[in-house]
Amino acid sequence: MFNPIRRSKKSVNLFAWIAAGSISISSLAPLPVLALTLDQGVPPAQLPANSAALGLQNAFIDVAAKVSPAVVNIGSEWTEDVQGYGNMNDLFNFFYGQHGMGQQQNPIFKRKQRALGSGFLVTSDGYILTNAHVVGKAEKITVTMQDGTTYPAKIIGKYDKVDIAVIKIVDGNKVFPHVVFGDSDNIKVGQWAVAIGNPFGLDHTVTTGVISAKGRSVEIGEGEGENGGGGSGVQNYIQTDASINPGNSGGPLCNIEGEVIGVNSAIYSQSGGSVGIGFAVPSNTARKTAEDLVNNNGKIVRAGLGAVVQSLSPAMAKSFGLSSNQGALLSDINAGSAAEKAGLKAGDVVLAFNGSPITDSGDLVSRLYTYHPRDIITLTIQRNGIQSDVPVTLQQLDEAALEKKGEGAGDNPNGLSGQGQSEALGLAYEDQTPDIRSQLPAGTPTGPMVTQVDPQGPAAASGLQHGDIILKLGNSPVVSSNQLTVLLKKSDLKSGVRLFVWRNGETLYTILQSGDE
């Protein structure tokens, strides 16, 4: 166990010598008695009771006193199959066993694993919110309160996509202190932030900082959790410089009023320790996820539009006549979806969600995480240079709803056929001949198909892939390779042109730009 107090080696050795009689105390000359009086100096100036410094200090003290009783230390235990040598008998058999030294494969044995994390009580009857990666593989969970009392707990449910889990103390008769949630949608960059948790097993450590940024997209890869519980995908995290270290995961990030505005989840660090870049799941996302896990037997009910969204690059935004790349582009609308019923179309750019500006696609998806099916929202969109507000009744999302059913295929209207290529763009394409169409999935739309992409060329840099079907160049529908060749020759490729392509049952936008300066 980590012990922050390190004993002096010299002091230990001196103690050993004295204990062994190596030093005769009676033979030593008496030490002179020193009269020492410390000068107290000039008394510090007393801050007025209403000073801003004391007010801020007291605010931090109040947050710690208010929230800490609800913060818990979570100990997880699980068993894993490990290849190696579990004990000396295994090692002896390796050297002297039946097959001789080194002839046996390393045996598989079970090893108990342990990990520590943080969490916080959200109800008086013992429900605790934490990170999914804190309890990922846990078979046994022990919760330790601020006063040292321990309780067994069980997993109610977890959702790896947002790295949130709910566990419950197995004690139905106890009333527990719990936190109060704040509204993470209303936080501002520069606000005070207070993190409370158990870094390196040092329970109920309080650190302070500010909200450094909002809407950070962070990828927490599989296996990076503290107990091997996997990780989350890309999420819009709150970034803070309040010190967060291993063991803080699952603890609360609070505002200056003691409301929980986030769940500490990850850090950016090359050393494994805090460098002032920590990330927390927004409280609104965490709260809705926790409610779903508790109310739906550990399952998540997600609300959505039934559309594919992507972020806008500056070049893409310019192609749609936007002055900035703030917003989310709808690149595909599922048939029969909430988006289609609301009249939304591919190419619409979502600028605001219930009156609040949207920064990118991740921001839009993150907002939807906090809503329920049949909730009505208002999206501010831009289409063909005109802004409008569109009410949308959200649908329930599941795997089937996320799959694009595909558009109906039609005949080539002008009967053109042929092949095209652009060496400058590193791109080759051709019409869908009967032989090619016979190999494509049902529902593939007509249009020239990309047959070759130079990995070093502009087409590859734009994200085009072999098998993509090009449907539009700018606002012009594309039905043949000959037409695409003509349109490319007329286009300002130095500035870039917008392509609308079909790929694996979904549509998306990309900017094709030549490498010429």
Contact 223, 137 (CB under 8 A): no
d(CA 332, CA 508): 7
Query: How crowded is residue 393: how many other Cβ atoms within 10 Å of its Cβ?
Result: 13
d(CA 126, CA 132): 17
Helix/strand/coil for 69 = helix
Nearest-Å Rg of the Cα atoms of the chain is 31
Contact 374, 394 (CB under 8 A): yes
Cβ burial of 283 (10 Å; 0-12, 13-18, 19+) is buried
d(CA 478, CA 496): 17
Active-site entry in 76, 118, 160, 163: 163
**Chain-centroid distance, C-alpha 506:** 24
Whether 203 sits among the annotated catalytic residues: the reply is no
Provide the β-strand partners of residue 193: 209
d(CA 463, CA 503): 11
Whether 8 sits among the annotated catalytic residues: the reply is no
User: 63: part of which helix (H) or strand (E)?
Assistant: helix 52-67
Active-site entry in 118, 133, 265, 481: 133
d(CA 1, CA 203): 13
Q: Give me the amino acid identity at 227.
A: N
**What is the DSSP pairing of strand 349-353 with strand 192-197?**
unpaired
Write phi, then psi, for 39 (nearest 5 degrees).
Answer: -75, 120
Active-site entry in 249, 331, 462, 480: 249
Instruction: State the DSSP string of 288-345.
Output: HHHHHHHHTTT---EEE-SEEEEEPPHHHHHHTT-SSS-SEEEEEE-TTSHHHHTT--
Contact 76, 155 (CB under 8 A): no
Whether 516 sits among the annotated catalytic residues: the reply is no
Beta strands in 219-355 (DSSP E): 235-240, 252-254, 260-267, 278-282, 302-304, 307-311, 328-333, 349-353
The residues that are catalytic are 133, 163, 249
